[in-house]
């Protein structure tokens, strides 16, 4: 009997290990994580612990050294068009206009011209960039460029969105605006997303779960449920005592990793 795709978790990471330089650099080791449909998982962890590498392995851009990643029940072995990535540095083509940047992944898939036009229009509206269709990336602020990155990802109607610190390169105020917009977006329509961030607040506001990673060789130290009901209002959530409890807890977990690192450095220089 065949099993419908919907019965599988969107992603299952099983015993995943990734090493570089002939095994000299171990990023994550024996990592297990399940990402259920319509859930947002935020990942925080020390710099260099392997968050980006993990996202690249989920997407099929990089290969695991050990273990396996299943996407809707099938082993990931190459980049899958049902997953869309949004990068910290926007990753836009500087020589293409806003609308051509958004259209690009659809053109690659040979979607017909009318569907492309309608997807581009719809998603430009969604991210609030009407009037900038023919602008080039250099003519836009960082926040606007990331809106283009987001629209490009949304236009493909991906099963899974992979976001690698998408708001890290914009100023603090724009970041809050973008967080609020993304929160609305994920509340208007169910989405499945892995969202990497160094901001604990961002992780708690957006996530159904927050995975806290340890330092290298890394693993998931704790997978926390963020129980705030939806739709969430960013301001309200930030004012809740539980928000602060989670914040302090995650901060302590991350600091415990920093201490190990410092302790190891001290040990090394003895
Ligand atoms: N292609 C590569 N070749 C060799 N080493 C690599 C490669 N890609 C990543 N690494 C190493 O793997 C480790 C994890 O890198 P990664 O970029 O995944 O970390 P990260 O958690 O995303 O860090 P940050 O928070 O700073 O973005 C680092 O030590 C990095 O130097
Ligand atoms: Mg990274």
Contact 86, 150 (CB under 8 A): yes
Tell the residue nearest (CA) to atom 8 of ligand 1.
53
**d(CA 198, ligand 2 centre) in Å:** 9
Could you give the maximum distance between any two Cα atoms of the chain, in Å? 67
**d(CA 77, ligand 1 centre) in Å:** 20
Question: Which ligand is nearest the CA of 48, by number?
Answer: 1
State how far the Cα of 35 lies from the Cα of 196, in Å rounded to an integer.
14
Q: What percent of the chain has pLDDT over 70?
A: 93
Class of CATH domain 9-80+198-270: alpha beta
pLDDT tens by residue, 200-241: 999 999 999 999 999 999 999 999 999 999 999 999 999 999
Contact 106, 159 (CB under 8 A): no
What pLDDT sits at residue 151?
96
Please state the domain extents for the chain.
Answer: 9-80+198-270
Cβ of 151: how many Cβ atoms within 10 Å?
A: 24
State how far the Cα of 267 lies from the Cα of 270, in Å rounded to an integer.
5
pLDDT tens by residue, 115-134: 999 999 999 999 999 999 99
Cβ of 69: how many Cβ atoms within 10 Å?
A: 22
How does the average pLDDT of the chain come out, rounded? 93
Confidence class for position 270, pLDDT limits 50, 70, 90: very low
Number of H helices, E strands in the chain: 8, 12
Q: What is the CB < 6 Å shell around ligand 1?
A: 20-21, 25, 27, 45, 47-53
* For the CA of 50, the nearest atom of ligand 1: 18
State how far the Cα of 39 lies from the Cα of 10, in Å rounded to an integer.
9
């Amino acid at each position: 009997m065949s099993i419908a795709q919907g019965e599988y978790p969107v992603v299952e990471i099983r015993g995943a290990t990734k090493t570089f330089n002939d095994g000299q650099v171990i990023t994550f080791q024996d990592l297990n994580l399940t990402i259920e449909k319509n859930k947002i998982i935020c990942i925080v962890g020390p710099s260099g612990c392997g968050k980006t590498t993990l996202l690249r392995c989920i997407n099929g851009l990089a290969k695991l050294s050990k273990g396996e990643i299943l996407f809707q029940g099938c082993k990931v072995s190459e980049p899958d068009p049902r997953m869309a990535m949004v990068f910290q540095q926007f990753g836009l083509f500087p020589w293409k206009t806003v609308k051509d940047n958004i259209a690009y992944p659809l053109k690659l898939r040979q979607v017909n011209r009318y569907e492309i036009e309608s997807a581009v229009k719809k998603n430009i509206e969604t991210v609030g960039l009407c009037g900038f269709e023919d602008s080039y990336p250099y003519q836009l602020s960082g926040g606007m460029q990331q809106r283009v990155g987001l629209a490009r990802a949304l236009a493909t109607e991906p099963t899974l969105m992979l976001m690698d610190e998408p708001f890290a390169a914009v100023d603090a105020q724009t970041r809050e605006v973008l967080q609020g917009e993304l929160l609305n977006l994920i509340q208007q329509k169910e989405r499945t997303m892995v969202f990497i961030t160094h901001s604990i607040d961002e992780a708690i506001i957006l996530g159904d779960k927050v995975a806290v990673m340890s330092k290298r060789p890394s693993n998931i130290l704790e997978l926390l449920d963020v129980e705030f009901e939806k739709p969430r209002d960013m301001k309200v959530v930030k004012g809740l005592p539980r928000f602060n409890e989670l914040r302090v807890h995650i901060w302590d977990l991350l600091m415990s990793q920093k201490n190990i690192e410092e302790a190891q450095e001290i040990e090394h220089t003895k």
